[in-house]
Structure 1
Amino acid sequence: MSTLICNGDDETYPLHECVFGGDVRKLSSLLRFHDVTRKDKHGNTALHLAVMLGRKECVQLLLAHGAPVKVKNFAGWSPLAEAVSYGDRQTISSLVRKLKQQAREQMEVRRPDLIKALSQIQNFYMELKWDFHSWVPLVSRILPSDVCKIYKSGSGIRLDTTLVDFSDMKWERGDISFIFQGEKPPSESLTVIDNKVKVYQRVRYEETENEIEDEVDILMSSDILAATMSTKAINFSRAQSGWIFREDRKETVAGLYKSDIYTITGIVLESRKRREHLSTDDLQKNKAILESLTKGNTQNLDTNGEPVRRASLNPPPESAIEWSSYISAPVGEYPSLGRELVYKESTRNFRAMIAMSDDFPLSVEMLLNVLEVIAPFKHFAKLRQFVAMKLPKGFPVKIDIPILPTVTAKITFQKFDFRDDIPEELFVIPDDYVEDPLRFPDL
Structure 2
Amino acid sequence: MPRNTPLHLAVMLGHKECAHLLLAHNAPVKVKNAQGWSPLAEAISYGDRQMISALLRKLKQQSRESVEEKRPRLLKALKELGDFYLELHWDFQSWVPLLSRILPSDACKIHKQGINIRLDTTLIDFTDMKCQRGDLSFIFNGDAAPSESFVVLDNEQKVYQRIHHEESEMETEEEVDILMSSDIYSATLSTKSITFTRAQTGWLFREDKTERVGNFLADFYLVNGLVLESRKRREHLSEEDILRNKAIMESLSKGGNLMEQNFEPVRRQSLTPPSPNTISWEEYISAESGKAPHLGRELVCKESKKTFKATIAMSQEFPLGIESLLNVLEVIAPFKHFNKLREFVQMKLPPGFPVKLDIPVFPTITATVTFQEFRYDEFDDSIFTIPDDYKEDPSRFPDL
> What residue in structure 1 maps to residue 298 of structure 2?
340
> What residue in structure 2 maps to residue 371 of structure 1?
329
Q: Contact 1:130–1:411 at 8 Å: present in 2 too?
A: yes
Amino acid at match of 1:384: R
Inter-CA distance 414–298: structure 2 relative to 1 (3 Å threshold) = closer
Structure 1 segment 70-149 matched on structure 2, within 5 A: 70-137=30-97, 139-149=99-109
Amino acid at match of 1:441: P
Offset of 1:172 from its aligned partner? 2.1
- Residues 269-307 of structure 1 show CA distances to partners (whole Å, capped at 9, x for unaligned) of 12211111111123345679999xx87x9948xxxxxxx
> What residue in structure 1 maps to residue 390 of structure 2?
433
Q: Out of 217, 242, 253, which is 1:283 matched to?
A: 242
Distance 2:180 2:77 in 1: 40
Distance 1:169 1:275 in 2: 17
Q: Which is further off, 129-138 or 108-117? A: 129-138
Offset of 1:138 from its aligned partner? 6.0
- Residues 133-174 of structure 1 show CA distances to partners (whole Å, capped at 9, x for unaligned) of 222346434432221110001111111011122222632221
Distance 1:285 1:162 in 2: 30
Amino acid at match of 1:89: R
> What residue in structure 1 maps to residue 255 of structure 2?
none
Offset of 1:246 from its aligned partner? 2.4
Question: Helix, strand or coil for the counterpart of 1:325?
Answer: helix
Q: Contact 1:221–1:282 at 8 Å: present in 2 too?
A: yes
Q: Out of 327, 340, 353, which is 1:395 matched to?
A: 353
Distance 1:46 1:289 in 2: 37
Question: Helix, strand or coil for the counterpart of 1:339?
Answer: coil
> What residue in structure 2 maps to residue 50 of structure 1?
10
Distance 1:118 1:64 in 2: 35
Q: Out of 279, 302, 326, which is 1:321 matched to?
A: 279
Does residue 174 of the first structure (1) align with residue 131 of the second (2)? no
Q: Contact 1:269–1:347 at 8 Å: present in 2 too?
A: yes
Distance 2:91 2:237 in 1: 36
Q: Which is further off, 425-434 or 282-291? A: 282-291
Distance 2:129 2:171 in 1: 25
Does residue 442 of the first structure (1) align with residue 381 of the second (2)? no
Question: Helix, strand or coil for the counterpart of 1:264?
Answer: strand
Q: Contact 1:186–1:205 at 8 Å: present in 2 too?
A: no
- Residues 43-89 of structure 1 show CA distances to partners (whole Å, capped at 9, x for unaligned) of 21111111000011110111122210000011110000000000111
Give the aligned length: 391
Question: Helix, strand or coil for the counterpart of 1:316?
Answer: coil
Distance 2:235 2:123 in 1: 35
Inter-CA distance 298–357: structure 2 relative to 1 (3 Å threshold) = closer
> What residue in structure 2 maps to residue 309 of structure 1?
267
Distance 2:89 2:347 in 1: 21
Distance 2:248 2:164 in 1: 25
Does residue 385 of the first structure (1) align with residue 360 of the second (2)? no
Structure 1 segment 412-423 matched on structure 2, within 5 A: 412-420=370-378, 422-423=379-380
Amino acid at match of 2:290: G
* Rg larger for: 1
> What residue in structure 2 maps to residue 65 of structure 1?
25
Offset of 1:187 from its aligned partner? 0.7
Distance 2:241 2:103 in 1: 31
Distance 2:100 2:243 in 1: 30
> What residue in structure 2 maps to residue 264 of structure 1?
223
Q: Contact 1:150–1:160 at 8 Å: present in 2 too?
A: yes
Question: Helix, strand or coil for the counterpart of 1:313?
Answer: coil
* TM-score, with length taken from structure 2: 0.93
Structure 1 segment 228-267 matched on structure 2, within 5 A: 228-254=188-214, 256-267=215-226
Give structure 2 stretches of 5+ with no counterpart: 253-257
Amino acid at match of 1:56: K
> What residue in structure 1 maps to residue 313 of structure 2?
355
Distance 2:368 2:24 in 1: 44
Question: Helix, strand or coil for the counterpart of 1:217?
Answer: helix
Distance 2:101 2:24 in 1: 51
- Residues 80-127 of structure 1 show CA distances to partners (whole Å, capped at 9, x for unaligned) of 000000011111111111111111111111000101111111111111
Amino acid at match of 1:392: P
Question: Helix, strand or coil for the counterpart of 1:335?
Answer: coil
- Residues 335-381 of structure 1 show CA distances to partners (whole Å, capped at 9, x for unaligned) of 23111111112111001111111111111111001111111111111
Question: Helix, strand or coil for the counterpart of 2:318?
Answer: coil
Amino acid at match of 2:55: L
Distance 1:133 1:289 in 2: 21
Offset of 1:183 from its aligned partner? 0.9
Distance 1:403 1:94 in 2: 29
Inter-CA distance 331–237: structure 2 relative to 1 (3 Å threshold) = same
Give structure 1 stretches of 5+ with no counterpart: 1-38, 301-307
Distance 1:91 1:338 in 2: 14
Q: Contact 1:289–1:299 at 8 Å: present in 2 too?
A: no
Which structure would you say has the larger RCO, counting Cα contacts within 8 Å and 6 or more residues apart?
A: 2
- Identity across aligned pairs (percent)? 65
Offset of 1:435 from its aligned partner? 2.0
Offset of 1:396 from its aligned partner? 0.6
Distance 1:57 1:298 in 2: 34
